[in-house]
Amino acid sequence: MRIKLHLLCIPLVFVMIFSGQLAYYAIILFSLLWHEAGHLVAAVMCGVKVKSCVITPYGGEIQFENPAVVQASSLLWIALGGPIATIIGIGLAFFMPDLLATKLINVQLVLLAVNIVPIIPLDGGRILLACLFLKYPRAHVIELYYWLSFIVATILLLVTFKFLPQSIFLAIINLFIWLQVLKEWRYRKYRVAFEKYVMNRLT
């Protein structure tokens, strides 16, 4: 399994350096790694082989060795693994020195809040997508969900841009999320075709 840092994390590093918050970024990076470790542990527990893991500004993206054989229930637990790890991290932070605990809890709360937004490629979106596989295994429902993700991501991006420069950190994260959603949306026909194959296999 390969673990990589996404190139779009670099602008976030420069923002932190120029604002004198490099130590704060170290906490963010640790929180991202901790969050992603939750996904990887869940994948191991579900018996799913992971090909690679890319650390992004909002968490990470896992690629499976063979996505077509991953059960919807496993997808659900793997998606839940990150938020569960973040919640555990918040609990552990209460046992740390106050100065570190405060910053760590704040970062973990922001990370959790961002990731539970129910749009692809965030954890909230993957959780909802797994539930759609289980409850409504129809291709047109999945395609509608990609449209909804794109609309919500665009609205969130415009809102954060409105409050620049105060929202620079969230703007970078939302820009990255929007680009990822745009990529998913542009290739939605292929995604839906693949997911239709997966749903036919599961049902």
Q: pLDDT tens-digit profile of 142-172?
A: 778 888 888 888 898 888 888 877 767 777 7
For residues 68 and 201, the answer to whether their CB atoms sit within 8 Å is yes
Q: What is the pLDDT of residues 161-200, one digit of tens each?
A: 888 777 677 777 788 788 888 877 777 666 666 666 655 5
Grade residue 22 by pLDDT with cuts at 50, 70 and 90.
low
Grade residue 15 by pLDDT with cuts at 50, 70 and 90.
low
Smallest CA-to-CA distance from 28 within 178, 170, 155, 176 is with 170
Sheet strand arrangement including 59-64: 2-5, 50-56, 59-64
Query: How high is the pLDDT of residue 83?
Result: 93
Query: pTM for this one?
Result: 0.76
Domain boundaries, the chain: 2-202
Query: How high is the pLDDT of residue 84?
Result: 94
169 versus 9: the higher-pLDDT residue is 169
Q: What is the pLDDT of residues 43-94, one digit of tens each?
A: 989 998 888 877 776 667 788 887 767 787 888 999 999 999 999 999 998 8
Q: Which residues, 6 or more positions from 151, have their beta carbon under 8 angstroms from its beta carbon?
A: none
d(CA 124, CA 98): 30
Grade residue 96 by pLDDT with cuts at 50, 70 and 90.
confident
List the single range of 17-21, 62-66, 107-111, 152-156 with lowest mean pLDDT: 17-21
For residues 48 and 74, the answer to whether their CB atoms sit within 8 Å is yes
Query: How high is the pLDDT of residue 130?
Result: 84
